[in-house]
Structure 1
Amino acid sequence: MKTAIVHDWLTNHAGSEKVVEGLLHLVPDAPIYTLVHQPENFRGTAFHGRDIRTSFVQRLPRGAQKYQTYLPLMPLAVEQFDLSEYDLILSSSHAVAKGVRVGAGQLHVSYVHTPIRYAWDLQDQYLREAGLDRGVKGAAARVALHYLRLWDTVSANRVDVFLANSHYVARRIWRAYRRRAHVLYPPVDVARFDPTRRREDFYLTMSRLVPYKKIDLIVRTFGRLDRPLVVIGDGPERGRLEALAGPNVTFLGRQEDPVAADLMSRCKAFVFAADEDFGITPVEAQAAGAPVIAYGHGGSLETVQANRTGLHFYEQTEDSLLQAVQAFEARAPFDPAVLRAHAETFRPEHFHVELLAIIAAARQAFRAGHDPEEAVMRLGETPR
């Protein structure tokens, strides 16, 4: 089948981009349609040298850098892609990619990382953090998000099969669109981690430094505990976080994959405080033999097995995290072999095999005039 891949934007090589790499593994010649592209951030990755086609947002003033300011134009932009020559559309969507126009003879499988969080369940937090929770600009933003939700709901009808990166996201897809989704966990490159290294006396967290990742919660808690904490990542919150931190916290900024893998292989434990839809870094930490202390909500409940590969804390508060760290230090060490075995279930090979089966089932049903969604849902799930 002649195939096209659609992804929201290519600006950073993060979790959703690793899913697109998984798609490229299966259809290496497929062009990638995306709103904007920053090629300098993808040197040395699977995206380098690919056929990448951008929208008119790329050509707007500072479109590639300030693309988020053009959010109201994104539905229009993604609808301008002409995909009429393709038999199969694979979209990777956390914003608008699933809303591409498709014809009656085209099969559209959409891998949804999340319905648009800032238009649905995180609207109030998004407006507050952007300083748009009051005034004329705030009112305009609420109107824009209202119409974005309407478009988002209508455009769900353009998808034949929804895939979700976790059961948590599958529930959110049902809540937003009243559509069922087959859960296909993202591919995680576990092979590059070494779980046999000696553990050292420092804790590690790694994330983009943005408010919803809750790195400030981790920094404040470890200030109270006076335990060594290493923070990998960069972002707009870095200055504020460094001002909060005591001498026990070390900020390393953005690091290359080998450095992050080395620290994961040596840290005492990995700390994860975000309410994530899936969260690849906790799986990577387990692949490196590091137990995970994670917020017990969202995707972490599916990737971190309580008392087997890590511990959960159930409130995003300093006291709750502090108690979890103390409980971790009071218990017997976790077995790195068990941690690694669990992480192995997220290997890219599993993703590739499952996705091939999904596409085959959907295609067969589609060509026979049957419901592709029903055919995929009958496949069941791979045990974890």
Structure 2
Amino acid sequence: MIGQPNKPDVVLVHDWLVGVRGAERVLDRFARIWGPTDLYSLVHDGRPLTPAIDACDFHLSPMQHMPGGAGSLRRWYLPMLPAMIERLKIRSCDLVLSDSSSVAKAIRPPEGVPHLCYCHSPARYIWEQTSDYATGSMGKLRVAGLRAVRGRFQKWDRKTTRRVDRILANSRHIAKRIERCWDREAKVVYPPVRTREFTPDSNTDRENWFLVVGALEPYKRTDLAIEAAVRGGHQLKVVGGGSQLESLQRDPPQGVEFLGRIPDDELLSLYRRAKALLFPQEEDFGIVAVEAQSCGCPVIALARGGAMEIVREDTGLFVGDQTANAFADAMTEATRWSIQSDACRENAERFSCEVFDQAMQDEVNQMIGT
């Protein structure tokens, strides 16, 4: 048990601790504000995350000790996730704060303890994006498995929202999905973006290539970005790792460069030099699109999902169709535009860590009556 004097005793819940992406950036802010504290999760793969998260006391489910449960096989344990999250027993505290994009919100809080959930999305692979997982390695088998458990999982997922007293959504797009899937209202608190770290540089010129950044997973549609670059004859740099990396780079097209996972200083340099960031997926929010704008980099985004809330007409270009031809045409148009870095930066500052921290502290204090 870890507690902090002069702070509300908030314990944290997170789906799984297997890398630092958008959800873990949110968790990091929680750990900075209310940590070190107890952190409950399905699994931890043993790698360091952030100093604030690593300082917490981890409590893991039995899935941690199952073959591949904390590694590459964890997605295949989907039918067992409800039982695993319910095996975690939360200690007495002032408030349970779950950070959920899968099952973390289904944690059982101690009797009388309020539960606040920050929701990145109801499990997208179960509710609305199952078909997106058909692409890439083992896609057909993956989708068949998802469809087999979908109905039972949805029923459980909807039922366990009763364990949550209040839900915060990371965008209006996700608030609407929460209402459709769970029949619950959610208040929007946009996630934190490190605008202090990601900054423009007036001495750096933009170059004639495009950038895509993110986990190489099926729904991110990096395959579409690559096809668009090839069709339009554009150079593309791909940043990130994931289950689709091997299949995507097996026969890399000319002009497409795979950089893998890179440190933030290298990513900052890419954001400052790229002609534009490609954002071809329907995203819950889209932290990388804000990071790019924070560095003055325009965004070519699919006109769906969270992108509609974070990209403006003076900071990027919306693409109506999720096709390679549509994105290839947008990339060609981008070679002629003159979007201003200052507009991108100004827009990004709406999503700073400081804005997020204050909003979350207000929510927590309101729930526990301080």
Q: Structure 1-normalised TM-score? A: 0.88
Q: What SS does the aligned partner of 2:127 have?
A: coil
Q: What SS does the aligned partner of 1:144 have?
A: helix
Map of 2:5 onto structure 1: none
Q: What SS does the aligned partner of 1:195 have?
A: coil
Query: CA offsets per residue over residues 130-182 of structure 1, 9 Å max, x none?
Result: 42389xxx4x7534222111110010011111000000000000001111100
- Matched to 1:26, the amino acid is I
In structure 2, do the counterparts of structure 1 residues 256 and 133 end up closer, same or farther at CA, with 3 Å as the change threshold?
Answer: closer
Match of 1:218 among 213, 218, 225: 225
Which sections of structure 2, spanning at least 5 residues, go unmatched? 1-7
Match of 1:298 among 300, 305, 311: 305
Map of 1:55 onto structure 2: 61
- Matched to 2:117, the amino acid is S
Match of 1:190 among 163, 180, 195: 195
Map of 2:140 onto structure 1: 131
Q: 125-134 or 102-111: which moved more?
A: 125-134
Q: Are the equivalent residues in 2 in contact too, given 1:102–1:158 (CA < 8 A)?
A: yes
Question: After the TM superposition, which residues 1-384 of structure 1 pair with which residues of structure 2 at under 5 Å, given as runs?
Answer: 1-42=8-49, 45-65=51-71, 66-126=73-133, 130-132=139-141, 138=144, 141-196=146-201, 197-243=204-250, 245-306=252-313, 308-331=314-337, 333-364=338-369
Q: Aligned-pair distance for 1:318?
A: 1.6
In structure 2, do the counterparts of structure 1 residues 41 and 145 end up closer, same or farther at CA, with 3 Å as the change threshold?
Answer: farther
Q: 222-231 or 88-97: which moved more?
A: 222-231
Q: Aligned-pair distance for 1:360?
A: 2.1
Q: Are the equivalent residues in 1 in contact too, given 2:189–2:356 (CA < 8 A)?
A: yes
Query: CA offsets per residue over residues 55-88 of structure 1, 9 Å max, x none?
Result: 1100112221122222111111111222141220
Q: What RMSD in Å do the two structures reach over aligned CA positions?
A: 1.9
Q: Are the equivalent residues in 1 in contact too, given 2:129–2:219 (CA < 8 A)?
A: no
Q: Are the equivalent residues in 2 in contact too, given 1:8–1:34 (CA < 8 A)?
A: yes
Aligned length: 358
- Matched to 1:111, the amino acid is Y
Query: CA offsets per residue over residues 324-383 of structure 1, 9 Å max, x none?
Result: 22222233x11111111111111100001111111222233xx9xxxxxxxxxxxxxxxx
In structure 2, do the counterparts of structure 1 residues 201 and 327 end up closer, same or farther at CA, with 3 Å as the change threshold?
Answer: closer
2-structure distance, mates of 1:96, 1:133: 19
2-structure distance, mates of 1:340, 1:361: 32
Q: Are the equivalent residues in 2 in contact too, given 1:39–1:48 (CA < 8 A)?
A: no
- Matched to 1:304, the amino acid is V
- Matched to 2:16, the amino acid is W
Q: Are the equivalent residues in 2 in contact too, given 1:202–1:230 (CA < 8 A)?
A: yes
Query: CA offsets per residue over residues 1-60 of structure 1, 9 Å max, x none?
Result: 322100000001100000001111220122110000012252x54323321111110011
- Matched to 1:168, the amino acid is H
2-structure distance, mates of 1:141, 1:199: 43
2-structure distance, mates of 1:47, 1:103: 23
Q: 63-72 or 272-281: which moved more?
A: 63-72
Q: Are the equivalent residues in 1 in contact too, given 2:133–2:219 (CA < 8 A)?
A: no
In structure 2, do the counterparts of structure 1 residues 295 and 244 end up closer, same or farther at CA, with 3 Å as the change threshold?
Answer: farther
Map of 1:370 onto structure 2: none
2-structure distance, mates of 1:318, 1:82: 47
Q: 244-253 or 266-275: which moved more?
A: 244-253
In structure 2, do the counterparts of structure 1 residues 205 and 126 end up closer, same or farther at CA, with 3 Å as the change threshold?
Answer: closer
Query: CA offsets per residue over residues 186-217 of structure 1, 9 Å max, x none?
Result: 00001112312221222111122222111111
1-structure distance, mates of 2:251, 2:223: 8
2-structure distance, mates of 1:202, 1:361: 47
- Matched to 1:220, the amino acid is E
- Runs of 4+ in structure 1 off by over 3 angstroms are 124-130, 140-143
Query: CA offsets per residue over residues 231-284 of structure 1, 9 Å max, x none?
Result: 111223223323564321111111111111111111111111111101110000
Identity %: 34
